[in-house]
Homo-oligomer: A and B are copies of this chain.
């Protein structure tokens, strides 16, 4: 306990130590909470858990704002306890997803760079209490984050009060990896002075008025580990297609083998595609991303990646062990930033990132759905994919061409929800191949998308749709009566296939 108290380096704050139960008791019905945490990393742990326990006796509801998804089943427990009124800007929990789709709670699906603007601008309800995980509180009261920063800076700045969870499971060696920068009020801003992914422009800690810290809870608990699937045969083939595309860009004189700052979305497929760079000729790579997953660390270990910028580190247990045991080595190569900066349009456009994100489905003209199953049910949220795709040098979307054992084609006539419009999607990659859509009119895109990215067993059906639509004319030919028929058929018959022919799997 004494060792733990040493983490509170501002003497006057030591008296603020309370139990998680006491801190949780301060949270009132109707409040808005700002919780640290981004894709399972650096989340406040003890107070949310204590709050769930409290709900067994008390009746209350709160708004829950975070960086992105949380670990420790907190979103699951929150949903089961029925204590969430509104949740934003991202989640990735099966139980919460079900709750959102059943109308048990409200979910607002933000671009992850945007929530901070809405808080700073006073558009969202003010955060009553920010609950932020930290490795330490510095002498000046500033909060040293752990394995993510997410929205913690903006929560700390705008919350009425702050509770800190000092988690001694995270080594104090994490201090110095963070780079805290606030761009300032809209309309009264300097340019963000970041020209390269490895530069530092801010402070190590989150500056706060120490009087706003109303409580400190001491914890010792690891982050939930990443649960991504390891690369499989199909994702390896996808990675191969991506490498083939990157090589063609080099051949065309548009890239060098140092490529450009890489961003890869959360999830198994984007991770696997990045993993594919391991055995490539590309070198001296830089990463400017949202989340670092296992693959980035593999690339660092292999000497392929020289620096990586992120807002969160979400890795498997095995990878976290290596990271923990070699933190000084990795710290030299990593900078963690607020998600507003990791995802900022100004920086992404300036750096010219190569952005790789996962699509749920895409259509024959290149529109992408990232969020809604059959246009109605929320999956996780758009996350940072829009922040990156809209401003990247190369907006690449990856997905396997089939899902549900071939009952679902990722390539459809008309996506059932649009998160990334035809104006913003540059390259599509599936295990079948890649389609480079840049500079092409809609009708030029169709052939590439169907013949290179759709699964062969669906190509005939896609061509039949397009050819019938093309007879009607138009810049983007569609048959509105049939545009969503694939999704309707899936609901009614369990498959998007028109005939009962043998399901062919790749």
Please indicate the chain B residues that have their CB under 8 angstroms from the CB of A377 in the complex. Answer: 473-475
Q: Say whether A1 faces chain B, with CB atoms less than 8 Å apart.
A: no
Is there an interface contact between B475 and A438, defined as CB atoms closer than 8 Å?
A: no
The range of chain A's interface size is 35 or more
Q: Which of A299-349 contact B (CB under 8 A)?
A: 344-346, 349
| A372 and B421 alpha carbons, distance in the complex (Å) | 13
Is there an interface contact between A187 and B260, defined as CB atoms closer than 8 Å?
A: yes
| A195 and B189 alpha carbons, distance in the complex (Å) | 7
Is there an interface contact between B124 and A475, defined as CB atoms closer than 8 Å?
A: no
| A100 and B473 alpha carbons, distance in the complex (Å) | 9
Q: Say whether A464 faces chain B, with CB atoms less than 8 Å apart.
A: no
Pick from B123, B189, B476, B487: contact of A480, CB below 8 A.
Answer: B487
Q: Which of A144-202 contact B (CB under 8 A)?
A: 186-187, 189-193, 195
Given contacts A123-B438, A423-B419, A480-B484, contact A390 B390 (CB under 8 A): yes
Please indicate the chain B residues that have their CB under 8 angstroms from the CB of A82 in the complex. Answer: none
Identify the stretch in A9-17, A71-79, A102-110, A446-454 within 8 Å (CB) of chain B at 4 or more residues: A102-110
Interchain nearest-CB distance for A422 vs B (Å): 8
Please indicate the chain B residues that have their CB under 8 angstroms from the CB of A475 in the complex. Answer: 100-101, 107, 372, 376-378
Q: Say whether A261 faces chain B, with CB atoms less than 8 Å apart.
A: yes
Given contacts A382-B423, A423-B110, A439-B123, contact A480 B192 (CB under 8 A): no
Pick from B110, B478, B481: contact of A376, CB below 8 A.
Answer: B478
| A376 and B124 alpha carbons, distance in the complex (Å) | 37
Please indicate the chain B residues that have their CB under 8 angstroms from the CB of A88 in the complex. Answer: 439
Contact with B along A414-430 (1 / 0, CB 8 A): 10111111111000000
Please indicate the chain B residues that have their CB under 8 angstroms from the CB of A54 in the complex. Answer: none
Q: Which of A98-154 contact B (CB under 8 A)?
A: 100-103, 106-111, 114, 117-118, 121-125
Is there an interface contact between A108 and B439, defined as CB atoms closer than 8 Å?
A: yes
Interchain nearest-CB distance for A494 vs B (Å): 15
Please indicate the chain B residues that have their CB under 8 angstroms from the CB of A444 in the complex. Answer: 106
Is there an interface contact between B350 and A478, defined as CB atoms closer than 8 Å?
A: no
Q: Say whether A403 faces chain B, with CB atoms less than 8 Å apart.
A: no
Is there an interface contact between B187 and A261, defined as CB atoms closer than 8 Å?
A: yes
| A474 and B104 alpha carbons, distance in the complex (Å) | 11
Interchain nearest-CB distance for A461 vs B (Å): 17
Interchain nearest-CB distance for A366 vs B (Å): 11
| A478 and B192 alpha carbons, distance in the complex (Å) | 41
Is there an interface contact between A103 and B443, defined as CB atoms closer than 8 Å?
A: yes
Is there an interface contact between A376 and B423, defined as CB atoms closer than 8 Å?
A: no
Q: Say whether A391 faces chain B, with CB atoms less than 8 Å apart.
A: yes
Interchain nearest-CB distance for A249 vs B (Å): 9
Please indicate the chain B residues that have their CB under 8 angstroms from the CB of A382 in the complex. Answer: 423
Is there an interface contact between A107 and B349, defined as CB atoms closer than 8 Å?
A: no
Please indicate the chain B residues that have their CB under 8 angstroms from the CB of A101 in the complex. Answer: 473-475
Interchain nearest-CB distance for A288 vs B (Å): 10
Q: Say whether A53 faces chain B, with CB atoms less than 8 Å apart.
A: no
Q: Say whether A94 faces chain B, with CB atoms less than 8 Å apart.
A: no
| A118 and B423 alpha carbons, distance in the complex (Å) | 13
Question: A63: nearest residue on chain B (CB-CB)?
Answer: B439
Please indicate the chain B residues that have their CB under 8 angstroms from the CB of A390 in the complex. Answer: 345, 390
Q: Say whether A208 faces chain B, with CB atoms less than 8 Å apart.
A: no
Question: A390: nearest residue on chain B (CB-CB)?
Answer: B390
Of the candidates A122, A376, A418, the one having the most CB atoms from chain B within 10 angstroms of its own CB is A376
Please indicate the chain B residues that have their CB under 8 angstroms from the CB of A345 in the complex. Answer: 345-346, 349, 390-391
Is there an interface contact between A386 and B122, defined as CB atoms closer than 8 Å?
A: no
Pick from B114, B186, B344, B484: contact of A352, CB below 8 A.
Answer: B186
| A416 and B363 alpha carbons, distance in the complex (Å) | 14
Is there an interface contact between A106 and B443, defined as CB atoms closer than 8 Å?
A: yes
Q: Say whether A253 faces chain B, with CB atoms less than 8 Å apart.
A: yes
| A423 and B254 alpha carbons, distance in the complex (Å) | 31
Interface positions of A (Cβ within 8 A of B): 86, 88, 100-103, 106-111, 114, 117-118, 121-125, 186-187, 189-193, 195, 252-254, 260-261, 344-346, 349-352, 367, 372, 374-378, 382, 386, 390-391, 393, 414, 416-424, 438-441, 443-444, 469, 472-478, 480-481, 483-484, 487-488, 491
A-B pairs with beta carbons under 8 Å apart, 9 shown = A106-B444, A107-B475, A109-B422, A186-B351, A346-B346, A375-B483, A417-B476, A418-B421, A419-B423
Closest 7 CB pairs of A and B: A191-B191, A186-B352, A376-B474, A378-B475, A418-B418, A106-B441, A346-B346
Known: A345-B349, A375-B483. 20 other contacts (CB 8 A): A110-B423, A111-B423, A117-B393, A122-B253, A186-B260, A186-B350, A187-B350, A187-B352, A372-B475, A375-B476, A375-B478, A376-B472, A382-B423, A386-B421, A386-B423, A390-B390, A419-B423, A420-B421, A481-B488, A484-B484
